[in-house]
Structure 1
Amino acid sequence: MEPTSVLQTHDLYKYILETTVYPSEPEPLKELRAASAILPNAFMGTGPDAGRMIQMLLKISNAKRTIEVGVFTGYSLLLTALTIPDDGKIVAIDIDRKAYEIGLPVIQKAGVEHKIEFIESKALSALDKMLENPGNEGSFDFAFVDANKDDYINYHERIVKLLKVNGIVAYDNTLFRGAVAQPESCIVDIFNVPRENTEKLKFLKAARADAIAFNKSLAVDPRIEMCLLPFSDGLTICRRLY
Structure 2
Amino acid sequence: MTDQTINLSPELYSYLLSVSLRENPVLGELRKEMKSHPVGRMQICPEQGQFMALLLKLMGARKVLEIGVFTGYSSTIMALALPDDGKLIGCDSCKADTDIARKYWRKAGVEDKIELFLAPALDTLNDLIEQGEKETFDFCFIDADKSNYLNYYEKCLWLVRRGGLMAIDNVLWYGRVADKNIDDKRTNKIREFNQFLKEDDRIDLSLIPIGDGLTLARKK
TM-score between the two structures when normalised by the length of structure 1: 0.85
- After TM superposition, the runs of 4+ consecutive aligned structure 1 residues lying more than 6 A away are none
- The letter for the 1-side match of 2:108 is A
Matched, 1:240 2:219: yes
CA deviations on 1:139-159 (whole Å, 9 max, x unpaired) are 000011111111110000000
Kept after mapping to 2: 8 A contact 1:7/1:231: no
Distance in structure 1 (CA, Å) of the matches to 2:18 and 2:193: 32
Matched, 1:41 2:39: yes
Which aligned pairs between 1:92-103 and structure 2 lie closer than 5 A?
92-103=90-101
How many residues were matched structurally? 215
Q: Closer, same or farther in 2 for the Cα pair 1:8/1:27, shift >3 Å?
A: same
> Partner residue of 1:195?
none
- The letter for the 2-side match of 1:124 is L
> Partner residue of 1:229?
208
- The alignment's C-alpha RMSD in Å is 1.5
- The letter for the 2-side match of 1:91 is I
> Partner residue of 1:11?
11
- The letter for the 2-side match of 1:182 is D
Larger displacement relative to structure 2 (103-112 or 25-34): 103-112
> Partner residue of 2:175?
178
CA deviations on 1:81-112 (whole Å, 9 max, x unpaired) are 11101111111000102101113222112211
- The letter for the 1-side match of 2:63 is R
Which aligned pairs between 1:1-242 and structure 2 lie closer than 5 A?
7-21=7-21, 24-134=22-132, 136-185=133-182, 205-241=184-220
Kept after mapping to 2: 8 A contact 1:177/1:233: yes
- The letter for the 2-side match of 1:58 is L
CA deviations on 1:100-151 (whole Å, 9 max, x unpaired) are 11132221122110000000011111101111122x0010000111111111
Q: Secondary structure at the match of 1:33?
A: helix
Shift in Å at residue 7 of structure 1? 4.5
- The letter for the 2-side match of 1:46 is I
Q: Secondary structure at the match of 2:135?
A: coil
Q: Secondary structure at the match of 1:183?
A: coil
Distance in structure 2 (CA, Å) of the matches to 1:13 and 1:211: 26
Shift in Å at residue 62 of structure 1? 0.6
Kept after mapping to 2: 8 A contact 1:7/1:178: no
Distance in structure 2 (CA, Å) of the matches to 1:180 and 1:110: 36
The runs of 5 or more residues in structure 2 that have no matched partner are: 1-5
Shift in Å at residue 57 of structure 1? 0.8
Distance in structure 2 (CA, Å) of the matches to 1:160 and 1:7: 32
> Partner residue of 1:193?
none
The runs of 5 or more residues in structure 1 that have no matched partner are: 1-5, 186-201
Kept after mapping to 2: 8 A contact 1:141/1:167: yes
